[in-house]
Chains A and B, each alone.
Chain A
Amino acid sequence: EDQVTQSPEALRLQEGESSSLNCSYTVSGLRGLFWYRQDPGKGPEFLFTLYSAGEEKEKERLKATLTKKESFLHITAPKPEDSATYLCAVQDSNYQLIWGAGTKLIIKP
């Protein structure tokens, strides 16, 4: 059965303290892995798409990487405005999206 697991559920960091969020998956025929950011009361905001193992993408303080089993979202020197829930989703060979439960990130000034 296709499955996406995100860890940790919540992460509290001090401003400037770098860390990583994990998205592990089992899926039949990965077509793509997606990272989104969601602020409270708003819709998810698209961040990255990764298609194959070894691929990396960066945007400001965020860097997403992909292996055959998992993806990491690395946050370098985070700021309080990076606080949000980060969602991971994978698309299987049938074009179905399977969503993770998300990681709530809190950056304290």
Chain B
Amino acid sequence: SAVISQKPSRDICQRGTSLTIQCQVDSQVTMMFWYRQQPGQSLTLIATANQGSEATYESGFVIDKFPISRPNLTFSTLTVSNMSPEDSSIYLCSVELAAYNEQFFGPGTRLTVL
């Protein structure tokens, strides 16, 4: 498996501001993903973070709202821009290791927007 850390673990933000979430992995991985999990619901994929190129976004998610960086094979950031209360969620990063088919998840970032 992989050891994945996220910063911050939680934050409370004001409407209209932006927050950048960091994801660090203890080994080089090709595939990194960002998910959102709204209260009491399952996981929704936001985008695949591609190293050296623009992220691939799922339907309903756009780069202006959720810009993603992937400068190397161990690190990625997700920014939640111009936040509204509807953005209150847990944001999770995950990785897929080359030798495995399954994804491994970070501990998540709990975001509350007031």
Chain A residues with CB under 8 Å of chain B are 31-32, 34, 36, 41-46, 49, 87, 89, 91, 97, 99-102
Interface of chain A, main secondary structure: strand
Residues of chain B contacted by A87 (CB below 8 angstroms): 42-43
Q: Name the residue among A36, A43, A46, A102 with the largest chain B CB count within 10 angstroms.
A: A43
What is the size, in residues, of chain B's interface with A at 8 Å between Cβ atoms?
Answer: 20
- Contact A46-B1, Cβ < 8 Å, known A32-B101, A41-B110: yes
Across the interface, B101 reaches (CB within 8 A) one of A43, A49, A101, namely A49
Q: Which residue of chain A is the closest to B9 with respect to CB atoms?
A: A41
- Contact A31-B92, Cβ < 8 Å, known A43-B106, A87-B42, A97-B45: no
CB distance from B72 to the nearest CB of A (A): 22
Please measure, in the bound complex, the distance between the C-alpha atom of A9 and the C-alpha atom of B40, giving whole angstroms.
Answer: 11
Extra A-B contacts (14), CB below 8 Å, given A99-B43, A101-B41: A31-B101, A34-B102, A41-B110, A42-B108, A43-B92, A43-B105, A43-B108, A44-B92, A49-B102, A89-B43, A99-B42, A99-B44, A101-B42, A102-B42
CB distance from A89 to the nearest CB of B (A): 8
Residues of chain B contacted by A102 (CB below 8 angstroms): 42
B103→A46 contact, CB < 8 A: yes
Chain B residues with CB under 8 Å of chain A are 1, 4, 41-45, 90, 92, 94, 100-108, 110
B106→A100 contact, CB < 8 A: no
Q: Which residue of chain B is the closest to A31 with respect to CB atoms?
A: B101
CB distance from A39 to the nearest CB of B (A): 10
Give 12 CB contacts A-B under 8 Å: A31-B101, A34-B103, A41-B108, A43-B4, A43-B94, A43-B105, A44-B43, A46-B1, A49-B100, A97-B103, A99-B42, A101-B42
CB distance from A38 to the nearest CB of B (A): 9
